[in-house]
Homo-oligomer: A and B are copies of this chain.
Amino acid sequence: MLKTPYLLFLGDVPDPLSAKVAQGIRDWRPEYALGQYRLPGCQADMNLPDLDIDTAVAQGARTLVIGAANRGGIISRSWISVLKEALTAGMDIASGLHNLLRDEPELVAAAEQYGGKLIDVRIPPVSYPIGDGQPRRGKRCLVVGTDCSIGKMYTSLALDIALQKRGAKSSFRATGQTGILITGEGVPLDAVIADFMAGSIEWLTPDNDDDHWDIIEGQGSLFHPSYSGVTLALIHGGQPDALILCHEPTRTHMRGLPNYQLPSLEQLRDTALPLAQVVNPECKVVGVSVNTSGQSIDEAERYLRDLEARLGLPCVDPYRQSADRLAEAVLSC
């Protein structure tokens, strides 16, 4: 478990999407987000106070959380000196990057010298089983997207809260580093060894009360060639009863892949649902979550209304509006 509150380290990320770890913590655990630390050239801003290490420590910060994700998850050289400074000042460091803190000799030495901890939340904490595809008690909902970094975690967190507000039993099940940093547990699926991916999701969503919903955080996209295998393992390991589709209508190409167009929501539905029905013939698509942050409020409302008529499903932006209608759709499933 991480010591709070946090100083969110944004590094020198080239765009706000690369800081989604920090943004998730700020939005879902604002009480933990004391401030942000940015390097020159940083193109992300959490609208938090920019604090240097000494000021943050003086204000009570206990952990420097690396809130930025580079492509490939590398810890760049320009970051190391700040991280060492944080350790020297007595903070822990938490990270979800592929490039582990514990593999950086300078950080290991500083952590030993000053007694700080290096916490790599990406490292799977247990040996996962191989999936066996057997039915489990309880209900499960999985969010699948037309692309990566499109709002799947937000949708899952908002849906979990909306279900609990209604008195329903539900658990957010984190499958990525941000979700794990927010909730303190989960499966860092993109760091799991291939053979154990589906089994890790079965492990994460075990037998439960018949009326309990696991809200499983989605990863990647069936249509994103870099990460599609991870997505299919989630679908087959999660055995969802309900799928929620997730989309961002202004995106011009798949994240990081200028040559690839996003699929339509119909394509996503018609691809994901039959694959889910391999493991759960009763699975249904129950709603659509749209990230409308790139649209005006008027545009967003028109888009959602048109989409709802087209697909015959509740279509909402859970961040701008609420996840209430998605929660109703899940509970009626």
Interface residues of A (CB under 8 A from B): 71-73, 98, 129-135, 189-195, 197-199, 222-223, 225-234, 236-237, 239, 254, 256-257, 259-260, 263, 271, 274-275, 278-279
Contacts and interface: CB of A to CB of B under 8 A. Distances in A.
A194 B225 contact: no
Contacts of A237: 225
Contact of A132 (B133, B135, B231, B257): B257
Given A222-B232, A236-B229, A279-B225, A259 B192 contact: no
B229 A194 contact: yes
A257 B232 CA distance: 18
Contacts of A131: 225-226
Contact of A236 (B194, B225, B259, B279): B225
A202 to B, nearest CB: 9
Q: How many chain copies?
A: 2
Nearest to A190: B195
B232 A229 contact: yes
Given A98-B195, A133-B259, 20 more contacts: A130-B226, A131-B225, A132-B226, A132-B256, A133-B226, A190-B194, A191-B193, A191-B195, A194-B230, A197-B229, A197-B230, A198-B228, A225-B237, A225-B279, A228-B233, A228-B275, A228-B278, A229-B229, A271-B274, A271-B275
A230 B195 contact: yes
A129 B225 CA distance: 13
A236 B231 CA distance: 12
Nearest to A230: B194
B198 A134 contact: no
B191 A72 contact: no
B130 A194 contact: no
B190 A133 contact: no
A189 B198 contact: no
26 contacts: A71-B130, A131-B225, A132-B257, A133-B225, A133-B257, A133-B260, A134-B259, A191-B193, A191-B194, A192-B194, A194-B229, A198-B226, A198-B228, A198-B229, A222-B232, A223-B278, A225-B278, A225-B279, A228-B232, A228-B236, A229-B232, A229-B233, A229-B236, A231-B232, A260-B278, A263-B278
A86 to B, nearest CB: 26
